[in-house]
A and B are shown apart, each in its own frame.
Chain A
């Protein structure tokens, strides 16, 4: 293997072939997103705190994106198996989370017959 193909390999594997995101940029996004989260979530009324938990929980199932990349990596069995386990767990989280949140929120919206 010559040097340039090694570098290519390294670069490709470095970030799962994703658009490269330098550590500092990632940190910037992280800190800003925390602030956005704090700003929005302090405005959510206590009545909706349980749906907030189940809904935000469904959003944390975003790990599914990473899980899909791993599970689709079928030329390496170990990676794909770990990925599939992750896909199962994350999908339960996503599908179950959004559905149950919807079920709860529909109850909050429901109008009573005599009103």
Chain B
């Protein structure tokens, strides 16, 4: 077998390992092995590439691998689980950035051949992959800068907390997008487009930044899922540039994965992707003001009172939200669940698809706290059981339990919610009556069967556990 055949076969093996790896993720029991298979696939692909005859020196490769490997390993080991959304955002960005550099390097390399071969001679041969290189540059740059901004927003750097809004922002975005499209089209005609490529990368960088700029808070899961998809598609475009099958396959797998997650997130908010990216959330005509909704009807409660409720409860449901992540309360929540179970209360956890800042965010936190995943119920599975539930504890969630969503004229109208208000008693742990991301008041807080437990999430859990043990 010649060398190219060996490499091609190794890439096939790698692609199969990636597919088997993703297949392993369909169940928690096989997921660890699946991830290892994916890593093995990557190793096979990398080793095969190193024997390629185009690789004439190894110094820079080793330098790059060592620097990147060290940074990656340290970050992966040190990061707290609550910071997973921003970490994934950052990694998405790096994938996109790498694709830009690879496409740029390939263009530079070919340009040198063009010059040697004489203008206009060698060029036509490369043309159909030129557009792929430009696409890789475009998608990669949008992904890199968009992800970087998403990272800053999720880390809650003060400077990026409020979007930078100015009149004509949408027209600017449209203008930038048109420019990008024009440069893509031009790439089909020009024989030596290195400058054009880097121009496109700069424009796409600005575009990536401005696309993510107005988006924040509860819409972040959609953005991260979308950027995840882009990082795959950028790798895929690079695969077209290099005529490399494993890049195309792996890239499209990731692209498909991100698209599915984006779609799930949008559905869980009953909003279209366009609405999430460009729309503005404004209170709808059905959304009353905070005074009208709350006006003297909100009842505050204490740890002792909630402990008494639990004493007489047979079934309890805990609803975690982003506030649990902020308060780092996942361990305390699990402790509370365990304590209740040891007293014969049936405990389940209700997880809304968009709770938190990325798909599956709550599940990871509860897994970190060693909560049993069989007790984590999805919205559709647990909703019918709220009517038979004695106590629902909502910790740090707001919009996903807002009954206004049942009114189509509300800002969040049509968004599927957890029907916690059907339970006998609802206890809401929250620091204040401040609205959630949608910016509208929540009539649940003023409902007859609802008690507000005003406290930091973690402190509330610890107090509650203490009160239960005393009683």
A interface, CB within 8 angstroms of B: 1, 6, 9-11, 13-21, 23, 26, 29-30, 33-34, 36-38, 40-76, 78-110, 112, 115
Contact = CB atoms under 8 A, between A and B. Distances in A.
A42 to B, nearest CB: 6
Given A9-B122, A75-B56, A92-B68, A86 B91 contact: no
Contacts of B59: 74
A51 B461 CA distance: 27
Contacts of A105: 28, 31-32, 35
A63 B373 contact: no
30 contacts: A10-B117, A13-B110, A17-B4, A18-B242, A20-B243, A26-B240, A26-B248, A34-B252, A34-B256, A41-B257, A46-B360, A48-B28, A53-B358, A56-B228, A65-B49, A66-B239, A66-B244, A68-B55, A70-B106, A70-B109, A72-B60, A82-B102, A83-B101, A84-B61, A93-B95, A94-B42, A104-B84, A105-B32, A112-B370, A115-B372
B79 interface: yes
Contacts of B101: 67, 70, 82-83, 85-86, 89
Contacts of A97: 72, 76, 91
Interface stretch (B156-164, B203-211, B230-238, B273-281): B230-238
A15 B367 contact: no
Interface in B81-131: 81, 84, 87-88, 91-92, 94-95, 97-99, 101-102, 104-106, 108-110, 112-113, 116-118, 121-122, 125-126, 128-129
Interface in B329-386: 351, 353, 358-361, 363-364, 367-368, 370, 372-373, 376, 378
A52 to B, nearest CB: 6
Contacts of A13: 109-110, 113, 122, 126
Contacts of B255: 34, 37
B45 A65 contact: yes
Contacts of B411: none
B26 interface: yes
- Which 3 residue pairs across A and B have the least CB separation, nearest first? A91-B68, A87-B64, A37-B256
